Every structure is written in C-alpha cells, then in structure tokens.
Amino acid sequence: MPPAPQADTPAGIRFDGVSVAHGRNVVLDGLDLTVEPGEAMALLGPSGSGKTTALRAVAGFVRPVSGRVLIGGRDVTDLPPYRRGIGMVVQQYALFPHMKVAENVAFGLRAQKVPRAGIGPRVTEALEMTGMAGYADRHPRELSGGQQQRVAIARALAIRPGVLLLDEPLSALDTRLRSGMLAELARLHRELPDVSILYVTHDQVEALTLADRIAVLDRARLRDCGTPQDLYRRPRTEFTASFVGTANLLPVTVAGGTVRFAGRTLPLPAGGAAGAADGAAATLCVRPHLVGLGESPTGDGATLRGTVTEIQWRGATHRLYADVAGHRVLADVRELRETPVPGDDIALHFAPDDAVLIPAGLTDGGAADG
Amino acid sequence: MLVHSRRARWAVWTVFFALFLPLFALPLLVIVAASFATGWSGVLPSGATLAHYQDLARGDSLDALITSLLTALAASVLALVAGTWAALAAERLPRRVRRIVDGLFLLPVAVPSVAVGLSLLVAFSQPPVLLNGTRQIVIVAHTVLVTAFAHQSVSAALARLDPAYEQSAAGLGARPGYVLRRVKLPLLLPSLTAAAGLCFALSMGELSATMMIYPPDWMPLPVQIFATTDRGALFAGAALAVVLMAATLLVLLAVSRIRTRASYR
C-alpha cells in the first residue's frame, strides 16, 4: 500500500469509466473525467444527474460497480474514505454539535494523530483563512448558516487535503449570503493554488463564477465538459446550451453553409456547419441577449419574423417572448422606450457569429445517449 | 396548544384530571398515606405513625433495597452495552435481516416474564452452566428482560442520526473506531442515558421473573414487598413500596440531569 499523499501535495482526480448503480438503477454511467491538480471543476446538472454520486465516489461513500477513481495518481477505488486524503464539505455542513468551533476544526488533525503542538496553529490558520478566528470558542448552534459554512470549510482545509470536495455548499444559504460566500470560495481557490476542488452544484451561476472547468451531467452521464466560456459560447449539446445560461434552440436543417429554419435561410458563422451533412437535422443555438429587435442592420445577418406573445420588464432589459413559426424565441433587449404589446408583429435579428450549430448526433436523447 | 377556545381548554383539562387523578395519582397517594397509617377501616387509611419506616430501618429491608439497586445497576449497564453494541452492528445489515434481529431482541418482552424466569431456571439448573441459586441468575434475568428496551431506544436514535456526521468525520480522515468514540456515541448520549433510565426503572420494579429464581441471600425489594403484603402486613408493605418508588425516582432524576446536560440542540 503506497503511503497517503503528503499534505500540500498537489493531487488531481481522475474518473476512469466510473459507474455507480443502486440495484438495477444506474445513477452514474461510465464517467471519464480528469480534474487537474489545482483545478476547480464544477459538476453541474439537475437533481438526479449523478453529480453528487460522482463526488461521493471520490469521497468513498459509494462504491463504483465498475471503473476506477484515482486521487493524485493513486487508485483509491478500494480505499475507505479515511485513507483517501480528502477534505469534504457536505450540504448541511454537519458540524459536530457537541464540539466547539475550534474542536470541530481540529477534529481531522486529531483523528490523523497530528502532534498536539502542531494542531493549534493549523486550527488558527484555517479559521483565519475563512474569517472565523473570533469564533473558536462558540458552539455550532450559536452560529448563523453562513458562519457554519465557513467553519465547515475551515474544518476541511485544516487537514490540508490535496482535493477539496464541496457538495452543494451554498444551497442552504439565502441569496445574499450565497453571493458573498461565492466570492469567498473564489478567493480561497486563488489562495490555495495546489488544492484541486470538485464542486457539485445545480446552480449555473455558482459553476460559471467558481470553476476553471465545468462538467455538465444529465441522467447519469457526462454531457459536456469545458471552460465556462466554452460551454456558454460554444455548447456542444442542447442540454448544455439550455442548462448553462438561457438559450434559443431552433430546429434547423443544414443546407450548405447555411441552415433552413421555418422556410427561411439563415446564415452560419464560418465553419459553423463543419461535420454536418447537407439535409441533416440540427439545432441552432442563439443566446437571448444576442438577439436584437428589428431587421438585421447588416446584409449577412439573420432576420426572424414573428408575433410577440409576452413581454417582461427586468430593470435594465426587456425580455421579449416571440412566436416564430410555432417556436418560442426569447430576446433580451436593452430597456425599450416604447414596448411592443402581445400580438404585435416584430422582426428579430442576430449576427451569424453569435449562432452555434449543434449537430443532431450530439444533442441529448440522440446518439450521445447510446 | 392545539385547542384555542377557553371553554374547550377547560374541558380538556377536566377530562385529563378526571382520568389522571383516579388512575395514576390517587393509588400512589393512597400507598403513601397507608405507609404512615395505623388502621384502615374507612375509605382512606387513618392514624399517623412513622413506626413502619422505623421497622424498615431495623430489618433486612435495607439489604433488599441495596440488592435491588445493585441488580438494576448491573442489569442496565449490561443491557445498555449489549443493546448499543447490537444496534450499532445491525446498522449495516440489510433491512430484512435487521428486522429479524430486532424481533429476536423483542422476544423476552413478548414472552411473559414468568416464562422467561422459568426458562432461565430450567436452562441453568444443570452443568455446564449452573446458575440456579446464585445472585448472577437474577442479574442475568433482569438483563435479558430489559435489553430489548435499550436496543430499541438506541436503534431508534441511530436511525435518526444524520449519516452526514459519520461521513464528514470519515472524510476528515477519522477511522471508524475514532468516529464511534468521538462523534457517534457523544451524539447518542441523550438516548443512551434515556435507555439507561428506562432499564433501571424496569429492573427496579421487576417481580414475576425474579420470583422464580431469586436465591435467599439476594432478595430484591419488590419480592420483599410481595412477601410482606402476602402475610398481611399491608402498611409495612406500603412503606417498602414508597422506599422503592423514592429510590427509583431519585436515580431517574439523577440520570435525567445527565441527559439535560448532554443534549446539544
């Protein structure tokens, strides 16, 4: 048995065809994913997508039916949780209610038999890092949700893990606290460049803000993986397009360097139809904030004509819902002086470079589903 | 309070006292009154004397009280250890197997305690395990009878314990033994003390199985109360019963103090 990774050693995580099943119910299906040392990876997906299961497989709380989990290059699939060298923060924090804050943070160090003299400074360090130094003598029940969250993170960091597992760590906080903690987590990630972070969330804002890369899961499978910008600007599946940000997804037919949609020809960005055969069905993805009101001002732009079905004022923007040949198209436009009313005929446009063609083979429910 | 109107609240209180007083409180109060009485010809005992208690102090009642306390202490400690151990071990079993284990533990409660006493007597009257006529058989019988309650109480508490505590601890590098010692048992402490109190109280009052097996030099208080009243000394028996109640209540109060201090939320 090789020794456990030393504290402070950068350690990545690798999922090597990891499948998890409860009886016949497959909850994670052949996950292949690598988290580089020091990288923050968000596992993003709706509930039941398998993202928490993936995290629990790293922690050692579920056993894969096939595949391997590696931490820092070491196969940990058969190791119990306490030998994996991880730090973990669970959804409800699970601070030990019978211990004070300092004892909670010291727990991992005591459990791992760190010499007594070394415990105090590391507890202080972890509490300072999370801004909780003044609360060492409190009991968890005397703390607010946000403070408990910080202590839970301090407790996980005190053992100086190579990998930090965060299971929906902000889901129990209210919106305002959440954005504050999000900034804190981003700061921690900058300050601890050697710690790999695996962050499970169903909230795309959290994933976009915090992660170096995002892995999108749906129905037990990895659907997409890339940097936040990548997934947002060039989603490879319909699921990614609609789950990361909001998207207009138009069913189109490929026709040379253009696509046909509802009897119209729409242009594509250069190379946008690469790999898609003529006549193939595909999906055109355009973000609502890239859709403008009126005819396309340039000759190469795309123009859609439809009827307004609903209009919402959102402060700085108006969101228009239009019906274009039976398909709903959303447009987020800068606040309008004169707003159209439902029933009005309108024209909407977008630039070719702002559209992404998603070939049908990669849409969910298609070939990717196997 | 679910009842809002004042009149309905009065009605509820009236029903409560109408049921509680005659069924629960009055019989106990009559026993207390009888323990100080010299005669009982009317509705209530009459006369006032401390003679019964003075007699108790002189006789072998003190021995019986100590016997009861020691038996109850030993039985509850043994039951708590066995019940907790079994509950912790059963936690990992498949649900169906766990149900069978639960059933086995409940068996001594389902079987009449006279039968439990008799079966222990028969089983341990022959070598290799010869316990008949020893003090140990009384403690064994009480342990068998109360372990079910310890096991039930700890299993229920374990089922309520959020698995996130155990998992967080394991995720922080704590081995199972350390998790048990530093996290699970402390969190279970309120239930453990409650279970201990229940076992103790049940053992203090146990009569029917004890009657079958007690040796002459290890007579618990309930047996003496029975023997005393059986030979017609009603007031002396009442005094013994008051002592038994008081001793049990005192111990339960002490245990509940530990429990209050041990509850964290």
> CATH fold of B59-262, please?
MetI-like fold (1.10.3720)
Question: pLDDT tens-digit profile of A284-341?
Answer: 999 999 998 888 887 777 888 899 999 998 888 889 999 998 889 999 988 778 888 8
Which run of H or E residues covers position B9?
helix B6-20
> Nearest-5° angle of CA A329, CA A333, CA A336?
120
Q: For residue B162, which residues of chain A lie inside 8 Å, CB to CB? A: 92, 94
Structure tokens at B179: 């998790």
Nearest to A171 by CA among A128, A212, A205, A222: A205
Q: For residue B168, which residues of chain A lie inside 8 Å, CB to CB? A: 88, 90, 94, 96, 155
How many whole angstroms separate alpha carbon B76 and alpha carbon B203?
8
Which run of H or E residues covers position B66?
helix B61-90
How many whole angstroms separate alpha carbon A154 and alpha carbon A335?
44
CATH code of A13-233, in short, is 3.40.50.300
C-alpha distance across the termini of chain B, in Å: 22
Residues A92, B162: C-beta atoms closer than 8 Å: yes
What pLDDT does B39 receive?
74
Q: For residue B178, which residues of chain A lie inside 8 Å, CB to CB? A: 111
Q: For residue B190, which residues of chain A lie inside 8 Å, CB to CB? A: none
Nearest to A329 by CA among A352, A349, A343: A349
What pLDDT does A367 receive?
34
Structure tokens at A256: 């040379």
Residues B171, A80: C-beta atoms closer than 8 Å: no
Indicate the SS3 state at residue B151: helix
Residues A90, B172: C-beta atoms closer than 8 Å: no
Residues A111, B175: C-beta atoms closer than 8 Å: yes
User: Phi and psi for A155 in degrees, rounded to 5?
Assistant: -60, -40
Report, as ranges of residue numbers, the positions in chain A whose pLDDT lies below 50: 1-8, 362-370
C-alpha distance across the termini of chain A, in Å: 38
Q: Is the pLDDT of residue B265 over 60?
A: no
Number of neighbouring beta carbons within 10 Å of residue B100: 11
How many whole angstroms separate alpha carbon A273 and alpha carbon A242?
20
Taking one residue from A and the other from B, the number of pairs with CB-CB distance under 8 angstroms is 76
What pLDDT does A56 receive?
92
Q: Answer whether A351 touches B (CB < 8 Å).
A: no
Residue A218 in contact with residue A259, Cβ under 8 Å? Answer: no
B92 pLDDT tier (thresholds 50, 70, 90): confident
Q: For residue B167, which residues of chain A lie inside 8 Å, CB to CB? A: 59, 61, 81, 88, 90, 94
Q: Answer whether A6 touches B (CB < 8 Å).
A: no
Region of poorest pLDDT, from A191-200, B103-112, B122-131, B178-187:
B122-131
User: Phi and psi for A69 in degrees, rounded to 5?
Assistant: -115, 130
Q: For residue A139, which residues of chain B lie inside 8 Å, CB to CB? A: 264
How many whole angstroms separate alpha carbon A331 and alpha carbon A296?
14
pTM above 0.80, yes or no: no
> What ranges do the domains of chain A cover?
13-233, 246-369
User: Which are the contacts of B12, defined by CB distance < 8 A and separation ≥ 6?
Assistant: B3
What pLDDT does B116 receive?
85
Q: Answer whether A82 touches B (CB < 8 Å).
A: yes
Residues A59, B167: C-beta atoms closer than 8 Å: yes
Q: Is the peptide bond before B128 cis (omega within 30 degrees of 0)?
A: yes
Q: Name the residue among B165, B170, B173 with its Cβ closest to that of A96.
A: B165
Chain B residues contacting A, CB < 8 Å?
A: 162, 164-165, 167-176, 178, 182-183, 186-187, 264-265
Q: Name the residue among B167, B183, B186 with its Cβ closest to that of A61.
A: B167
Name which of B95, B160, B167, B172 to mutate to probe chain A: the one with the most chain A Cβ atoms within 10 A of its Cβ: B172
Q: How many helices and strands (H and E) does chain A possess? A: 8, 20
Section B124-133 average pLDDT: 77
Section B23-33 average pLDDT: 83
> What ranges do the domains of chain B cover?
1-49, 59-262
> CATH fold of A246-369, please?
OB fold (Dihydrolipoamide Acetyltransferase, E2P) (2.40.50)
Q: DSSP class of residue A5? A: P
